[in-house]
Amino acid sequence: MRVGVIGLGIMGQPMAMHLHKAGLLAAVYNRTRAKAKPFEQLGVYVADSPADLAKRVDVVIEIVSDAPDVEQVFFGPSGVAEGAKPGLIVVDMSTNSPEWARRFAERFAQLGVEFLDAPVTGGQKGAVEGALTIMVGGKEEVFKKVLPVFQAFGKQIVYMGPVGYGQAMKLVNQVAVALNTVAMVEAVRLAKALGLDVDKVAQILTGGAARSGSMELYLPKLLKGDLTPGFKSAHLKKDLVYALEYAHRANLPMPATALALELYKKMVERGLGELGIHALGEVY
């Protein structure tokens, strides 16, 4: 299969590089063309637009920031839809919501185009190492076709169900990530106030009952004072908004998640949204 990647940011760039190494990458597109330069130097075609990319591939992978950006890439001027042909498979690997996924799928179906929602977790580290967890919604037969593509950069790939179920699972995941991160930040603040050796603190928190994927990914960076993003605070804030919208509609109390959202809102309000999610202590 010929695969095209739209969005060469923190996650998309290493994912595309793994696809290139697997011999699957046929084209890339990024709004800022300079980010495509490394691929151009490798002989990969750099498309002039999402439509141009869609004409040249069998599978389009898109990973940009939020639903309005995704909609623009798919259906805006020179978007994927303009270059799409029947049988094309479009995969949205950004995080938005099940409603958006179903909306995208319905619009592409009118063009004879298949659609999967397949958000990822594992952060930049997982993308670089080709060890992402991928949660997929859509037709199972389409999922099976695209599975070799996912295997180029994913370690755990789970078919969740119909369109929208990938995004639903990602919102569940983000709630757990956010609450783990709040716990980590407050635990480290307490440890420092008590005068504990932070290396020993890290040893306990990543080896005992408090252990979590978020702790393992972000605690070493936090203790080194490295606040650069493996995943941006602004993006987690956006994901928590989607999750709590569902909770409110379902009359489902989620007070801890609501608190996490308020903290990440403060991150964004103070101009800290581009920092990693582990930089949350900056608002305390």
Overall average pLDDT of the 109-115 stretch? 98
Residue 158, pLDDT score: 98
Residue 226, pLDDT score: 96
Using CA atoms, how far residue 147 sits from 13, 126, 215, 222, 274, in Å, is: 19, 18, 29, 35, 32
Residue 65, pLDDT score: 85
Rounded to 10°, the helix 255-269/165-193 angle is: 80
Overall average pLDDT of the 164-184 stretch? 97
CB atoms inside a 10 Å sphere around CB 254: 18
Reply yes or no on domain 168-283 having CATH 1.10.1040.10.
Answer: yes
171-195 burial, b at 16+ Cβ within 10 Å, e below that, comes to: bebbbebbbbbbbbbebbeebeeee
Residue 131, pLDDT score: 97
* Domain range annotation of the chain: 3-162, 168-283
Q: For 28-73, how does the pLDDT look when each residue is reduced to its tens digit (9 = 90+)? A: 999 999 999 999 999 999 999 999 999 999 999 999 988 999 999 9
Give yes or no: 170 in active site.
yes
- Which of 21, 35, 155, 170 is catalytic? The answer is 170
Overall average pLDDT of the 150-162 stretch? 98
Topology match between the domains 3-162 and 168-283: no
Residue 186, pLDDT score: 96
SS3 134: strand
Overall average pLDDT of the 161-183 stretch? 97
Residue 52, pLDDT score: 98
8 A C-beta contact, residue 79 and residue 73: yes
Q: For 233-276, how does the pLDDT look when each residue is reduced to its tens digit (9 = 90+)? A: 999 999 999 999 999 999 999 999 999 999 999 999 999 999 99
Reply yes or no on domain 3-162 having CATH 3.30.70.2660.
Answer: no
- Asked whether the predicted pLDDT for residue 193 surpasses 90, the reply is yes
Overall average pLDDT of the 11-33 stretch? 97
Please give the helix or strand (H or E) that residue 180 lies within, else none.
helix 165-193
Overall average pLDDT of the 195-214 stretch? 94
